[in-house]
Amino acid sequence: MSVKSLFSPIWWVLKKFWWLLDGTRRALLNLLLLALIVAIVWGLATRGPKPLKDKTTLVLDLQGDIVEQFSGSPRDQALAQLRGDARHQTRLRDLLAVLDSAAKDDKLAQLVLDLDRMGSASPATLREMEAALQRFKKDSGGKPVVAFASNYDQRSYYLAAQADQVYLHPMGAVLIEGFGRYRTYYKDALDRVGVTAHVLKVGTYKNFAEPYMANGPSKASLEAEAYLWDDLWGRFQQGIEKARKLQPGALKQAIDELPQRLAAVNGNTGKLALNEKLIDGLKTRDQLKELLEKKGALDDKQLRQIRLGAYLARIPPKLPSSEGAVGVIVAEGEIVDGEAAPGKIGGESTAKLIRQAREDDKIKALVLRVNSPGGSAFASELVRRELELARSAGKPVVVSMGGVAASGGYWISTASDEIFADASTVTGSIGVVGVLPTAEKLMDKLSLRTGGYTTTWLAGGLDPRRALDPRLEAVIQGAINHTYGEFTARVAQARKKTVEEVDQVGQGRVWSGQQALERGLVDKLGRLEDAVASAAQRAKLGDKPQVRYVETERSKWEQVADSFGDALAPSVQAMVRDALRQSGVPVLPQSVQAVQGDMSWLVEQAQTGAKGRVPALAHCLCGMP
């Protein structure tokens, strides 16, 4: 028998097996393709959300900080989630749109504020939400508004107080602390390690860099902060006391007598909140569900409900108007040079958006929504100049100030026809500061030396290893004085005041919106909708203009990345956290993280100076309670 005849049956079996395997592969791929086609056709055929059923409960599940715009690119957000330092965010305009639409929706039986995961929100933002909730109660025909949380801080409680019924977990608490802050001061620590922070500024009240040059707040800082915080705190108390029908001063008295009142209820914080009439009842989540079911309805033994994101997707976009639109540009976050992702104001990137709106014939007026403590004076001027060009092109520009519009945030607001602020907006801080850290004493401590040849005294003048030359200090102080002069001159021209009058309310001092109105720094108190109405009136667009947000367009890949992050980040994040925990990597306390952030900023200034550029900063360092 030949070798060929011996292996012939085996070869035949292998060929048949391969044919079967290849056929199976093709069949599976074809089935997969067919399933994909069917899914696409089915998706197109059933496009759009299903109609809401009667007695649906709308649940506003606020996630994280309430912001004007989402921060960072989808890639940045995904990486931050993996690191475990990202927080969800809720966009203010989404909340307002949902509340205004839901008020007229007959399918909705009630509104629930789920505040367990709410993060920070400025006093001005809370007042925007307060107004929207009051509109909902007025326009919805009496639909009940119910608030619930396991614990309330003072931000979430301010919103809860606007509800018809406020409930708290029996083991929860309502924590209202008041406004204010403590800052860490580094002068002694910097002296000990041999670092000198040369602070050059204009403005008696300009305390941005005070922690690096002193061991405690100056008398001027305490005076200015007391004037601001007391005004904001008074308005905050009034908002809660009015909503809960409490006597004026009831909150202050409750805080003053907290130890005695808590002792009277044996430390039961839930009962204390009930006794103080801050809440209407103590309920667990299942008890709350039973309560909501009486007004709403069930689907498969579950409360028939729709949450914020799902309801937002149901709101149809407004059709373009032949008359044109009011373009809204959000300027939120610190002002930095160059390009910046959402959540920061880039001098070039934000100016580009304004230019885009100016060159768009369909946009007839602009509203700049400012929520910024300031930053780079140069970047601020780029943004201001583009707004000036928009006005020169015949397009009205109206500024709407959000939580904070101070220093650089106020600088960019000057090129406008009108400025609106909330009574609790933090604004002003007309002043300029620069910081030049040097470490020549640290070099001595480490027995390190530096030397070399330069053709002029200025070469290497910004080297942080060497003492600051008095001539260079004088040059930089002169430039900062000039920048302050430019700042006050622009404000004087915009506000129709003398430079001396602006200097009196400037000097780096921060005001509330109400105080700013009294000093002529803003034109009117109002919300974003008021600014839009004013811009529309100036452009003759009627009472109900189309509003279009002018934003950087996201690519399809960014949209996919965003979806990928939402879907997979939580599980991957948990894996990363577990790995870190098992490896013994510690998580820094929040207070230590704050110090780390401050010192990182100081190091950044040293590195910037080493590159030959000292930025003039128009920044207020005004944090929100």
Query: Regarding beta strands 374-376 and 196-202, do their DSSP bridges make them parallel or antiparallel, or are they unpaired?
Result: unpaired
Known catalytic membership, residue 206: yes
H-run or E-run covering 197:
strand 196-202
Query: Residues 114, 63: contact at Cβ < 8 Å?
Result: no
Known catalytic membership, residue 407: yes
Q: Which amino acid is at 572?
A: V
Report how far residue 156's alpha carbon sits from residue 116's, in angstroms, rounded to the nearest whole number.
8
Q: Which of 206, 283, 395, 497 is catalytic?
A: 206
What are residue 511's phi and psi, to 5 degrees?
Answer: -125, 160
Contacts of 107 by beta carbon, 8 Å cutoff, 6+ apart: 51, 52, 53, 54, 55, 56
DSSP letter at 180 equals -
3-state SS, one letter per residue, for 38-99: HHHHHHHHCCCCCCCCCCEEEEEECCEEEECCCCCCHHHHHHHHHHCCCCCEEEHHHHHHHH
Chain position carrying tokens 């619930």: 148
Report how far residue 311's alpha carbon sits from residue 113's, in angstroms, rounded to the nearest whole number.
14
Query: Residues 421, 516: contact at Cβ < 8 Å?
Result: yes
Q: Which of 122, 140, 407, 413 is catalytic?
A: 407
Report how far residue 554's alpha carbon sits from residue 350's, in angstroms, rounded to the nearest whole number.
15
Q: Hey, how many other C-beta atoms are within 10 angstroms of the C-beta on 420?
A: 28
H-run or E-run covering 323:
none
According to DSSP, the residues that pair with 293 across neighbouring strands are none
What are residue 395's phi and psi, to 5 degrees?
Answer: -100, 120
Query: Residues 624, 120: contact at Cβ < 8 Å?
Result: yes
Residue among 197, 221, 204 nearest 601 (CA): 197
DSSP letter at 151 equals S
Query: Regarding beta strands 397-406 and 345-346, do their DSSP bridges make them parallel or antiparallel, or are they unpaired?
Result: unpaired
Query: Residues 287, 276: contact at Cβ < 8 Å?
Result: no
Residues catalogued as catalytic:
206, 407
